[in-house]
Chains A and B, each alone.
Chain A
Amino acid sequence: MSSIMPTEVPRRSQLSRRHIELGAEFERSGYLLLVKDYGSQTEATQAQILGLVDLSTLPRTGFKGAGAPDWAATQALNLPQQPNTCTVQTDGSLVAKLSHQELLILSDLNGKSASIERLNNTPVDPQTYSLPRADSHCWLAITGSQAAEMFSKICAVDLRSHKFANGEIAQTSVAKANSIVIRNDQGSTHCFYILTDVSSAEFLWDCLLDAMVEYDGRPVGVAALRALV
């Protein structure tokens, strides 16, 4: 059993029970609790083949509205030019442009990005509205060379690397659950973030594991994901 348990913090992933069942070792930084690993020595290698990571407790936020583009432009962010693309910021956070008037900001994998907290505490302009993205969606990552192949079993968008470039976003259905799929490679390893309605997190997790069996995919901890960079 992990020396740290999810019940020690108020923010608990919807998938906590799944992680405990899989023998997860958790890591904690303040109120932020993540699965460090599942006790396997080969998780970094696994992540290069096909890994599934729960990042749901990491910080993230969102803004939308007619004023959002102009307001965001004043926030020292490297903004994507086109909708359905994303850019990685210098602090490791990621800004995803979901439409001309909607932004999603994800923290770095350590939850240390300053931009999330700063944006949440900065007054917004008129016609700019914050969105509770940290809680409305779960955040999973699928990594590895088999990721796109696995996705083809549950998602109708062609996510193969030569068809879906790094930094592209698909707002689509994954296993019939509305999802935001962001390609954000980690080093040379393919990586897709999936953000789906948080209440369906366990459903999606189970679907992904089921789809991954064919390719020997397994859950890995965030340490394996960090090791890819």
Chain B
Amino acid sequence: MKGQQIQKRLPLPYGSLIDRNTEVSFSFERKSYQGFAGDSIASALAANQQWLLSRSFKYHRPRGALTMAGQDANTMVQLPSNPNALADRELISDNLAIMAQNYSGSLNNDRGAVMGLFSRFLPVGFYYKAFFKPRGIWEKWAPIIRKKAGLGVINQQLEPQYYDKQYRFFDVVVVGAGPAGMQAALSAAVEGCEVLLVDENPILGGSLNYARFDAEGIRGQQLREKLIQKIEANSNITSMTDAVCNAWFADNWLPIIRGKRLYKVRAKQTILCTGALEQQAVFRNNDLPGVMMSSAAQRLIHLYGIRPGNAAVIVTGNNDGYANALDLLDAGVDVKAIVDLREQPKPDAIVFAAAARGIPVKTGYAVYEAQKSRNHLSAVEIRKVVSQGICADRGEVIPCDLLCMAVGYTPTYQLVCQAGGQLSYDDNSAMFTLINCPDAMQVAGSVNSHWNLDACLAEASRAAIIATNALGLTSTAIPEEIAKEPVSPNHPWPIFAHPSGKEFVDYDEDLTIADIINATRDGYEHIQLVKRYSTCGMGPSQGRHSALAAARLVAAATNRTVAQTGVTTARPPFAPEHLGHSAGRSFYPARRSNMHYRHLEAGAQMLQAGAWYRPAFYGAADGTVDNSETCINNEVNNVRNNVGLVDVSTLGGIEVRGPDAGEFLNRFYTFGFVKQPVGKARYALLTNEAGVVIDDGVACRFSDEHYYVTATTGGVDRVYQNMLKWNAQWRLDIDIANVTSAYCGVNIAGPKAREVLAKLCTDVDLSPSAFPYMGVREGTVAGIPARLIRVGFVGELGYEIHVPQHCGEALWDALMDAGQEQGIKPFGIEAQRILRLEKGHIIIGQDTDAMSNPMEVQMGWAVSRKKPFFVGGRTLTELENKPQLRSLVGFVVNDLNAPIPKESHLILDGEQMTGRVTSCNYSPTLQKPIGLAYVTPENTPAGSTFIIKSSGGVRVTAEVVKLPFYDPDTLRQEL
């Protein structure tokens, strides 16, 4: 078997990318094939004479390899893992099952090809013309068109794969490891730069690996070996092959993709040696399998050891076509003719060599039409060129199975243009050229329109000098700019219209000469409008092979020069990338309290509050989830009747210290704090400049110059930032420190809380008189230094105990042990929400919104009117002088059969929305649904009723009650 495979290949040294000792079996369209390790899918299939790879997007035309460089959409195939894989880029692997895309029936006999017969009814912009009338018809067409338009199929069963990212730092990054790139890297490295040399191909060398630079065909290989030897000997150079620099972002931030990793590379200087992309000639049926770029044929020969055809014609506008002919001859291909668009080729050694080897040359001729047999090129008709784009009436037919196109290049300009460089067009050379490259970026080689090897190398060295000078490593005199060659490889008009059309300008979108011209006739004369109207350049290859021809056609159709016409914008990415590359290894810094595992061991169902994990409620002791409602109600009842323990470590904690600490809080929060006694806590309500409630907590005064302020879990970072911001203006003598993570906290609450705490805390007098409600103390609990705060968020006797973070679990253990006798049980966030609701306490962000002011939420009592200033104070004074538009009230639902309203359910007056519910739960204590809602002022008196549109649209009657629902005289929390 291996022998058979080897016989299909040209002998060594052809095939530099393949390992002839390792055979690989794969399938294409369910038929088995063999190739060698290192083969791309397209090369392995080509070796087996399978040239048809895909069907085109619109007309389902047969397509084969065009560039063999991963730069076109013709080779897109379906892999098990992903669609639209580039067959000339993707390597074969054992048992890889490859399918073609976008056909109906079979790849060889695609029923969709019938679309080509209707092409005259599918003119440019037909989507816009055909599917918008009558009104609403697009809705009918859309699914049909979208189904037809799809190429590959996404495998939705695929397990996500591991992608990640890595940062890299270099003095100089050279993109493109052809002759210019290798020379630039060497020149920079010898000056001491750390250089990254990156190339999308598996080996260094670029065109030196396949192109012919002299009649003998030896110079490229010799130069490659010499440069690689030096690169490998230079430790300052890191070579990265099989890696695509996929964009340029500000400050030389270069995303480079290799395998499943995105390298985030920072370069001080960038040298782009990205080369040039060969362009097609435009003539009828220029898309048939067997018609390819001359460089594609050379890649097949030199990289994969594959004879690209048996009988070849070369259409050329430069001497590269002659070099191509020599390569084909050397590979045993019968070269039928070189069809030279020029009347007279520039004489050089290669041209002479071609003549010496007897290759027929037809100068002043063009390929007028390609003909097919069995989905492959079978012959070309050539005709004499009589004027620009016009051929003689008659020509001759040359049978062939390979047509190589060598009519010119465009620079691989994408990265340069993303960096702010511009494409200009030189009418004399008929070439796009790059101008206005930004600082810290150089270009060298064929991307900068140098075609002579020596000129490329000289320019690369010059670019390196500019870069090393900019880095301060050298102060070398910069050589004169290398002069461009007088003769361009670009033919000015390799475009020949045919009465029957099908001369493709854009292969991706099946756009022909007529399509581009008709777009201008429809009034879309600007190149950007032509692009959007015709979709030219919007396909997978992003105009790599259509931009030049389209610009020429638009220029001619609108009587402008190509320079005036311009090209469309090049945006990242340069090549298709997997979503996984962008997503990469994602990082989500989840936060856990020191007691986290105690919650899990107690059967907690955890929920996320911002980045924090918090226990929602605790299930059955064996770890199974009990009915959540029962669990939560039991937790509520245990707090009301015994004692419960809740983890409040996630609450924000901010130290405000210094001589002006009281003054600072006085200005920052709505209440008064200057006269707050030491040893007391005070409710702290925060408004912004618009008087909107944005956070709350308690300010605990531990000394004259020391306040410990709590804030909400989700709000503490904003509170801290606001504190820093305001004091940057006020310049008070204080220090502000966010110590949220430094403390673990619990709230032990319930009528037996003191009884439990007293077992562990002996250095603080816990008696009601010595440590009353809203008192704060410092002491030890279970031997752990602790801050104790008597607060009553849940409406019972309770103590918040804040201890150093690493002691959180030990505190939890000690309290749970000590409270066994009293029936202590943990309770979660859900129970806490009910408990606080019964007590009528609001939750900022749930019961407030972006408009809520303190008066609306019945917090006017927390606003000091005596102090001269606080943030939001002026606005609140104004608001108090205006009628209130809504008010947050407590309500109960007396009908126990009614569905319990939920947060955000609407309050209706008839059919008019007049408010909304912010909180509502069944109260185990009151044994009925209770809640908070915004209502209109006339609905605020106790006893008023209003209608809530509850689940399923059921109208539920609610009755306004005075807050709090539970323990209105606050006897419980002040026990």
Contact = CB atoms under 8 A, between A and B. Distances in A.
A210 interface: yes
Given A17-B597, A127-B658, A135-B742, A11 B804 contact: yes
Contacts of B264: 156
Contacts of A155: 167
A204 interface: yes
Contacts of A197: 589, 591, 741
A203 B168 contact: no
Contacts of B589: 175-177, 197, 200, 203-204
A135 B741 contact: yes
A176 B804 contact: no
B735 A64 contact: yes
A188 B635 CA distance: 57
A199 B737 contact: no
Given A10-B807, A14-B594, A158-B167, A198 B741 contact: yes
A209 interface: no
Contacts of B169: 158, 160, 163
B248 interface: no
Interface in A181-214: 197-200, 202-204, 207, 210
Interface string A1-21: 000000101111110010000
Given A56-B806, A132-B804, A198-B741, A207 B167 contact: no
A57 B591 contact: no
B584 to A, nearest CB: 10
Nearest to A153: B166
Given A64-B735, A155-B167, A203 B805 contact: no
Contact of A129 (B657, B741, B807, B810): B657
Given A10-B782, A127-B658, A135 B743 contact: yes
A75 B137 CA distance: 82
Given A127-B658, A134-B806, A136-B741, A12 B594 contact: yes
A164 B906 CA distance: 59
A207 B587 contact: yes
B739 interface: yes
Contact of B806 (A14, A126, A175): A14
Given A10-B783, A127-B658, A203-B588, A156 B167 contact: yes
A176 B594 contact: no
Contact of A202 (B585, B592, B658): B592
B327 to A, nearest CB: 42
Interface string B635-661: 000000000000001000001011100
A89 B743 CA distance: 29
B847 interface: no
Nearest to B655: A129
Contacts of A9: 810
Nearest to A132: B742
A65 B658 CA distance: 10
A209 B905 CA distance: 46
Interface residues of B, number: 43
B806 A13 contact: yes
B809 A12 contact: yes
A17 B164 CA distance: 27
Nearest to A179: B589
For chain A, give the interface size range.
35 or more
A111 B807 CA distance: 18
Contacts of A10: 782-784, 806-807, 810-811
B590 interface: yes
B171 to A, nearest CB: 11
A65 B593 contact: no
B585 A210 contact: yes
B726 interface: no
A57 B813 CA distance: 19
B612 interface: yes
Interface string B485-499: 000000000000000
A228 interface: no
B733 interface: yes
Given A129-B657, A175-B587, A207-B587, A199 B166 contact: no
A152 interface: yes
Interface of B: prevailing SS: mixed
B735 A65 contact: yes
A177 B165 CA distance: 16
A131 interface: yes
Interface in A113-158: 126-127, 129, 131-132, 134-137, 152-156, 158
Contact of B805 (A136, A158, A175, A176): A136
Contacts of B165: 153
A177 B587 CA distance: 9
Contacts of B590: 200, 202-203
Contacts of B805: 14, 135-136, 198-199
A176 B741 CA distance: 17
A132 B592 contact: no
Interface string B780-812: 001110000000000000000000111101110
A177 B737 CA distance: 18
A200 B805 CA distance: 12
Contacts of A199: 591-593, 612, 649, 741, 805
Contacts of A126: 659
Given A176-B587, A203-B588, A129 B735 contact: yes
Contacts of B806: 10-14, 56-57, 134-135, 198
Contacts of B591: 197, 199-200, 203
Interface string A160-176: 10010000000000011
Contacts of B739: 131-132, 136
A156 B253 CA distance: 12
Nearest to A151: B167
B594, B612, B649, B804, most chain A CB atoms within 10 A? B594
A155 B659 CA distance: 39
Contacts of A202: 590, 592
Contacts of A176: 587-589
A132 B811 CA distance: 18
A154 B587 contact: yes
B323 to A, nearest CB: 43
Contacts of B809: 12
A65, A135, A197, A199, most chain B CB atoms within 10 A? A199
Given A129-B657, A135-B804, 18 more contacts: A10-B783, A10-B807, A11-B804, A12-B809, A12-B810, A57-B806, A132-B742, A132-B743, A135-B743, A136-B739, A136-B805, A155-B167, A158-B266, A177-B587, A197-B741, A198-B805, A200-B591, A203-B591
Interface of A: 7, 9-14, 17, 56-57, 64-65, 126-127, 129, 131-132, 134-137, 152-156, 158, 160, 163, 175-177, 197-200, 202-204, 207, 210
Interface of B: 164-169, 264, 266, 585, 587-594, 597, 611-612, 649, 655, 657-659, 733, 735, 737, 739, 741-743, 782-784, 804-807, 809-811, 813
8 contacts: A14-B805, A129-B735, A135-B741, A135-B743, A153-B164, A153-B167, A176-B587, A207-B587
Considering the complex of A and B, which 9 residue pairs feature the smallest CB-CB distances, nearest first? Answer: A199-B591, A136-B742, A10-B810, A132-B742, A135-B805, A176-B587, A158-B169, A135-B742, A177-B589
